[in-house]
């Protein structure tokens, strides 16, 4: 970014990155414990609990992710002025793409946690890696053409194409097969 664009534009992107990481870190701290609790419930064969938690996480995560995304897109300039004490002037397209990516990242991460808890570590990690690799291949062109806005837009597209719909399907498939396998395994151990 700094090689192909002015310093002010690179700095604006860096601010948008920090601005997105702050709420995303908050979301991660809320969702991370569900990896362990989902794994425990799956090991006990408590499929009903896993499904009910998945429903609650999806609702809560969607609301939280969309809320953060909309707040960043609409009131981002005001929040940054409050946060840093001076206006930065990121512009609406950069903030809108940052907010959209934050919403999508929350959706992806909550399903990632559910997949990990149900033992689908390899499949979920491969999806995230493939998404990241695909984005890394096109990122230099996105930066050259559209700067920071292109980076955020490219990240949005990478989530939409690679994980936003596949990860929830993997999680749904995991709720039945993995939990049943673990239930039969753990019941065999207790005998």
Altogether, the residues listed in the chain come to a count of: 191
Q: Give per-residue pLDDT as tens, 143-163.
A: 889 898 999 999 999 999 999
- Using the CB atoms, write b or e for 111-142: b if 16+ within 10 Å: bbbbbbbbbbeeebeebbeebeeebeeebeeb
The answer to whether the CB of 99 falls within 8 A of the CB of 68 is yes
Any idea where the domains of the chain sit in the sequence? Answer: 7-190
| pLDDT bucket at 6, cuts 50 / 70 / 90 | confident
Q: Give per-residue pLDDT as tens, 70-101.
A: 999 999 999 999 988 988 888 899 999 999 99
The predicted pLDDT at position 84 comes to 87
């Amino acid at each position: 970014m700094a090689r192909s664009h002015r310093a002010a534009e690179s700095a604006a992107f860096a601010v948008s990155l920090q601005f997105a990481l702050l709420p995303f870190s908050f979301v991660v701290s809320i969702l991370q414990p569900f990896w362990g609790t989902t794994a425990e419930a799956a090991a006990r064969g408590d499929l009903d609990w896993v499904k009910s938690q998945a429903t609650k996480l999806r609702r809560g995560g969607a609301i939280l992710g969309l809320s953060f995304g909309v707040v960043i897109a609409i009131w981002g300039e005001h929040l940054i002025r409050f946060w840093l004490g001076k206006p930065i002037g990121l512009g609406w397209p950069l903030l809108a793409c940052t907010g959209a990516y934050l919403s999508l990242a929350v959706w992806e991460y909550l399903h990632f946690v559910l997949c990990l808890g149900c033992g689908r570590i390899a499949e979920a990690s491969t999806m995230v890696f493939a998404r990241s690799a695909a984005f890394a291949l096109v990122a230099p062109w996105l930066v050259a053409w559209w700067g920071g806005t292109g980076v955020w837009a490219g990240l949005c597209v990478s989530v939409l194409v690679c994980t936003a719909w596949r990860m929830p399907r993997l999680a749904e498939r995991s709720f039945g097969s993995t939990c049943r396998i673990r239930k039969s395994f753990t019941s065999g151990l207790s005998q």
